[in-house]
Amino acid sequence: MRSSVKYFCLLLAITVIYAACKKSDSGPNSIFNPAELSRELAVSLYKSLSGQYGGANISDGIKAPLSISTPAHRGPQINDVNPYCGLTIDTAYNLSQDVIDTVKTYYTRFKFVYGCENNVLNSYSLQDSIANTLTAPAFKAVYKLTQLYNVKAIDQTYKVSAVQGIIYFSSHIDATKQSIAQYEYMDSYYNLQGIKVDISSGTADVVAGTSTITAIFQYKDATNNITDNITGSIEFLGIHMSRVTLHISGDNTTYIYLVNMLSGQVTAQ
């Protein structure tokens, strides 16, 4: 299934994130590379909005379900009422698989509500919760994604939409390597403000707005027990570019990077 494939790719990506973000010359206050951290925060947010973690893909635009479309997005009229106004899709899905000595589980809860103005379909709200777990004898990874946001068309073509709401990521990895226990935890929270998304090219481009970032990164092994509190913002510049500003607890430096959310390329500013 497509969902389970996405899920297994996500668990692999979590491991790669931590391998990439650890500093080889880490100081007493941080074990993360700010450039890699900026890239992961910006790219992960874009992947969430574009449905690469499951759930809604903002590139699909605002349209009636089952690819039904009629002039002016009105939909079929029943007694002069558009039946899609307030239409709710509320579903849950659960999958568990055993592969040799590894247990893989996937759970999602998806609620999608269409909204109208003057009987014209022009918006939707999304409540999406995904939980993925990979358990092996010496390894456990838990990934959670929660999306709560609204999308509303702001132009006549329905190609540009305003987005507001929150997105929350949580990835927890517990492992035993050479009989030494270690864990790597990441929790990040995005608050979307004044976001505009243009889908006229067929690929969503976040052309304006910002997202505040609040994150906690923790790492522990036999010799380290470090917690980083991260605050900052992502400013969306269009053409898939973003400007990420980060502050790391115990570090007086302000880190600013330009990040291409499609390619992942990072440039210091």
pLDDT block averages, 10 residues each, the chain of length 269:
45 45 44 84 91 80 52 47 80 83 87 88 90 89 92 89 94 84 90 95 94 92 87 97 94 95 95
Distance of CA 53 to the CA centre of its chain: 7
Domain assignment of residue 43, yes or no: yes
Domain assignment of residue 112, yes or no: no
Domain assignment of residue 32, yes or no: yes
CA distance 124 to 74: 14
Domain assignment of residue 127, yes or no: no
Please give the pLDDT value at position 60: 84
CA distance to 22, 137, 195, 236, per residue, from 192 (Å): 27, 39, 6, 11
CA distance 91 to 120: 25
DSSP sequence for 20-70 = HHB-TT--SS--B-HHHHHHHHHHHHHHHHTTBTBS--GGG-S--GGG---
CA distance 159 to 63: 11
**Position 60: which residue type?**
D
Domain assignment of residue 107, yes or no: no
Provide φ and ψ at 104, rounded to 5°. -120, 125
**Position 135: which residue type?**
T
Identify the domain containing residue 166 by its residue range.
Answer: 2-67+144-268
Please give the pLDDT value at position 223: 84
Non-local (6+) Cβ contacts of 73 within 8 A are 62, 63, 64, 120, 121, 122, 158
pTM of the entire structure? 0.80
Domain assignment of residue 119, yes or no: no
The length of the chain, given as a count of residues: 269
Domain assignment of residue 123, yes or no: no
Domain count, the chain: 1
- Give yes or no for a contact between 85 and 121, defined as CB atoms under 8 angstroms apart: yes
Domain assignment of residue 10, yes or no: yes
Please give the pLDDT value at position 151: 93
